[in-house]
Amino acid sequence: MITKEALVFLEDLIANNNTDWMHANKKRYENYKKDYHNFIASLLAEMKPLDKTLEPLEVKNCTFRINRDIRFSKDKSPYKTNMGVWFTQNKFRKNSPGYYVHFEKGNSFIAGGVWCPEPDELKRIRKEIAFFHEDLDKIVNDKNFKKEFKEMTRDESNTLKKAPKDFDPNHPAIEFLKLKSFTASTKIDDALFTDKNFSKIVAQKLIALKPLNDFLNRALETED
């Protein structure tokens, strides 16, 4: 669980997103960061026994900086007002499959998979789908996957309108092949984050994504 003090800090930051306020509340931020790291540690403790690929991870591998990258953004607010946690199956690969936990007031969710892979990685994933689409069908139709995530994420920003180059538009897995990211997500109630059993509850939900992550990892490790 995350402490109520940490959530109040984020709520206050929404109303005071500037460096002067942050400097004046440095002690509160340090306490927030400790709570954030303890929160990650509790999630790792639940996830590692369920997915052995996460064993090498430390808390520092799963954090995000609170500072926003505002170089190319119209929104110049300097700080993030959400809390994110990322568990990757391979901490040495930029786009390794993994699990994500996100707290944002009114928009909290959990997710996993591979988001926006590089062109060579995208090609490998699509080749794996083209040759082994039955495996992916089995994964996304598994009762646990469907219970927790229903289906893989599909939207206009994530999906090609036509078949990708070099792939048959009549391929039985064409709807998977059109994807540009390979993820699944589901919303969760903000109140769950302060439940004493949060880590255990969420770990049991996230692990439904392990077969998808394993499939994607297999694709990324396959030599052309």
Domain hosting residue 88, numbered range: 4-67+78-221
Supply the angle between the helices 119-140 and 210-221 in degrees, to the nearest 10.
140
Domain total for the chain?
1
Summarised one tens digit per residue, pLDDT across range 97-116 is: 999 999 999 999 999 999 99
Summarised one tens digit per residue, pLDDT across range 85-99 is: 999 998 888 789 999
Q: How far is CA 106 from CA 103, 156, 190, 197, in A?
A: 9, 23, 7, 20
In a domain, 73, yes or no: no
Across the chain, mean pLDDT equals 95
In a domain, 136, yes or no: yes
In a domain, 72, yes or no: no
d(CA 170, CA 17): 50
Q: What pLDDT, on a 0 to 100 scale, did the predictor assign at position 74?
A: 81
Q: Exposure of 111 by Cβ count < 10 A (0-12 exposed, 13-18 middle, 19+ buried)?
A: buried
d(CA 82, CA 74): 18
In a domain, 207, yes or no: yes
- Is the model's pLDDT at 189 over the cut of 70? yes
pLDDT bracket for residue 224 (50, 70, 90): low
Of 15-19, 28-32, 89-93, 117-121, where does mean pLDDT reach its minimum?
89-93
In a domain, 199, yes or no: yes
As a whole number, mean pLDDT of residues 157-174 equals 93
Go through the chain and tell me how many residues it has: 224
In a domain, 110, yes or no: yes
pTM above threshold 0.75: yes
Specify whether the CB–CB gap between 197 and 138 falls below 8 A. Answer: no
d(CA 44, CA 2): 14
